[in-house]
A = this chain, B = another copy of it.
Amino acid sequence: MSQADTVTRILDSAEQLFAEKGFAETSLRMITTRAKVNLAAVNYHFGSKKDLIQAVFARFLTPFCNKLDKEMATMAAGNPNPKLDDVLGVLAKTMLTGVTSSGQSNKLSVFMRLLGLAYTQAQGHLRRFLRDHYNGTYARFITYLRDAHPELSPKEIFWRIHFAIGACVFTMSSIEVLREMSIADTREDTGIDEVMNQLIPFLAAALER
């Protein structure tokens, strides 16, 4: 087994388990067992558990942010005054097509779940890491939103977009639980596409109003 294999398998297992259980509830022994590598491999290749957490985020956030930056620039080049729909459309498209780190299915919910953990479970070091590495893309995105709605104050833009992020992150984070509850409630299942098809107009209505 080559080094790249070992590193990748650790990242895959860690990503999956972190999204499923959170950081504290996931032990290095769970990760290395699932990855079929030796326990010491994490500390050898990454240094510490904290560094592994950052590596998991870096692996999917770096290409995602690069892609988002590029797509945003492309949109702005062909459209001097992008509206909210345009900006959010680029974001949605990037999320749907650009999140493919470990190649497993259902990647979007993992992405969302990790994003949620970053907000609610970040232990300081992760928050600092994300700010230091991805604040640029975030700031540029917010700027597009402001330009699309110059009549709204920066505050209003900030909170509306985070309300929307909240609805997305929460829904996709708890998608399994929610689908179970939905079945118990309504006696019929709801596919993820169907959830997305309801979520998008929900958010559009809330953001535009």
**Chain A contact residues, CB within 8 Å of chain B:** 22, 24-25, 113, 116, 119-123, 127, 139, 142, 153-156, 158-160, 162-171, 173-174, 177-178, 181-182, 185-186, 188, 190, 194-195, 198-199, 201-203, 205-206, 208-209
Which residue from chain B places its CB closest to the CB of A180 in the assembled complex? Answer: B127
A170 to chain B, nearest CB (A): 3
A173 vs B116: C-alpha distance when bound (angstroms): 10
* Contacting pair A166 B177 (CB below 8 A): no
> Which residues of chain B are within 8 angstroms of A160 by Cβ–Cβ distance?
198, 202
Q: Is the interface of A mostly helix, strand, loop or mixed?
A: helix
> Which residues of chain B are within 8 angstroms of A120 by Cβ–Cβ distance?
22, 113, 116, 120, 170, 173-174
A185-B154, A206-B202 are known contacts. Are A169 and B166 too (CB-CB below 8 A)?
yes
* Contacting pair A186 B154 (CB below 8 A): yes
A166 vs B195: C-alpha distance when bound (angstroms): 14
* Contacting pair A198 B166 (CB below 8 A): no
A130 vs B204: C-alpha distance when bound (angstroms): 32
A205-B205, A206-B205 are known contacts. Are A167 and B174 too (CB-CB below 8 A)?
no
* Contacting pair A171 B163 (CB below 8 A): yes
> Which residues of chain B are within 8 angstroms of A195 by Cβ–Cβ distance?
159
> Which residues of chain B are within 8 angstroms of A22 by Cβ–Cβ distance?
22, 24, 120-121
> Which residues of chain B are within 8 angstroms of A190 by Cβ–Cβ distance?
155, 159
Given contacts A158-B182, A166-B169, 16 further A-B contacts (CB under 8 A): A24-B24, A119-B173, A119-B178, A154-B185, A155-B186, A160-B202, A163-B167, A163-B203, A164-B167, A165-B170, A166-B167, A166-B170, A167-B170, A201-B209, A202-B206, A206-B206
